[in-house]
Amino acid sequence: MKLLTKEIRKQIPKLYAQDGLGENAMVYVKFFTPDNDWTWYATEFEDGVFFGLVKGFETELGYFNLVDLETATGPLGLHIERDLHFKSCKLSECRK
């Protein structure tokens, strides 16, 4: 699966473009591991690096790398996927 399509690249703002918006920042893409509970919600992207909300051991804002998402696997060896049904929403919606 292609994690970051040309269409998403055109939509997602560059790093720091939503700085200061807090919970009103828009999330453009959701990635998840099908064999555990890790989820990444990307609000910005530039030069292979995303910024957004990561839900794993903790829920926190931070940076994550496209190459890492493309190469990582979960405990059963399944690759990270992009949620094909995800619709852009405010960051506050993803925290629920």
**Mind listing the pLDDT tens digit for each residue in 27-72?**
999 999 999 999 999 999 999 999 999 999 999 999 999 999 999 9
Confidence of residue 21 (pLDDT cuts 50, 70, 90): very high
Whether 34 maps to a domain, the answer reads yes
Q: What is the pLDDT of residue 1?
A: 87
Q: For residue 39, what are its two tokens?
A: 């989820």
Looking at the domain assignment, is residue 75 inside a domain? yes
Tell me whether residue 53 is in a domain.
Answer: yes
Q: Domain tally for the chain?
A: 1
| Inter-residue contact 25 to 56 (CB < 8 Å) | no
Cβ–Cβ contacts within 10 Å for residue 91, how many?
19
Q: Is 15 domain-assigned?
A: yes
| CA dist 56 → 11, 18, 26, 34, 74 (Å) | 26, 23, 20, 13, 12
**Does some domain include residue 68?**
yes
**Cβ distance 44 to 17 under 8 Å?**
yes
* pTM: predicted TM-score of the whole model, two decimal places: 0.95
For residue 1, being part of any structural domain is answered with: no
Residue 20 in domain: yes
Range of the domain at 66: 6-94
pLDDT band at 96 (very low <50, low <70, confident <90, very high): confident
